[in-house]
Amino acid sequence: MTDKIKTIGPVNPAGLDDIAEALLREPKKHGLKTSESKMCLEDHHAFWRLHGVEFKDKIYSVDMRKKLLCNGSSKTQDGWAEYSRRAIAHNQFYVGDLPKYTAFFETLFMNRNGECADGIEEIRSFVGNVFSRGLATLTRIIYKASGKDKAMHNFGLLDQYDVEEDIAGKAALIKKALGTPMYSALFGTEDAAEINLVYKWLTNKKVRLQRISGKPKTASGRTVRFGKYHGLSIISCNWDLSRKTIALGIRAEEMQPSNQRTFL
């Protein structure tokens, strides 16, 4: 059967609240720049395709699978990294890192009241419903006994990259007082207000960032995952490496004017 595709045209930002309008007016490190790009959401049988996702100074089309990877089976982060390496080699769906998921969610949020509102709400509802079950990312934190900690993104993949920053600290609601360099190292954006808006919209909950509370005696690795706990949305940066989680599947391709294709 041929997949049915619903194509949703350019975004009209009219009707956004004051804060979202401010976000739209200012170019961001990632996320759709509506003044320069047009965003289109395609609804395929097995996945959604979101165009105009800006990540690391490039624009991507990002697919999100409509079902959890491996029929909802759980794996450790090492297991998901191995799975993702094989998936990427065959252009299949894989697990993203925290900045990549954040860029995708931010693009949805910034266009939630535009012409693609119905499709965006469908995605938001799907992600919001599985968020509470705990979702894996391929971001790993190495908390160090001295010096800066290390955020490892695309962990275990060929394009893994590391960012060193002070990350350890008490669990707290996301707010600017926690320190913007830490946010940039984890999420790929320093804008705490933006991060809070995006994830609060996605889950209908206040957003809490969990980390280890202080410097460990020896270096300690932890995974980053999404979840909900005691009425809050949780972005946990202290999940044990041996614990298993389910995962959302994504797939990204750089948008280029030529026939060249670059996969993320």
**pLDDT 10s digits, 102-133:** 999 999 999 999 889 999 999 999 999 999 89
Total residue length of the chain: 264
The pTM of this model reads 0.83
33-47, 62-76, 178-192: which has the highest mean pLDDT? 62-76
CB count within 10 Å of CB 124 equals 18
Contact 221, 66 (CB under 8 A): no
Q: Where do the structural domains in the chain lie, given as residue ranges?
A: 7-132+246-254, 135-239
pLDDT average, residue stretch 240-253: 97
* Helix extents (H) in the chain: 18-25, 77-89, 98-110, 117-131, 180-187, 192-203
Count H helices and E strands in the chain, helices first: 6, 12
Cα separation of 89 and 19, whole Å? 40
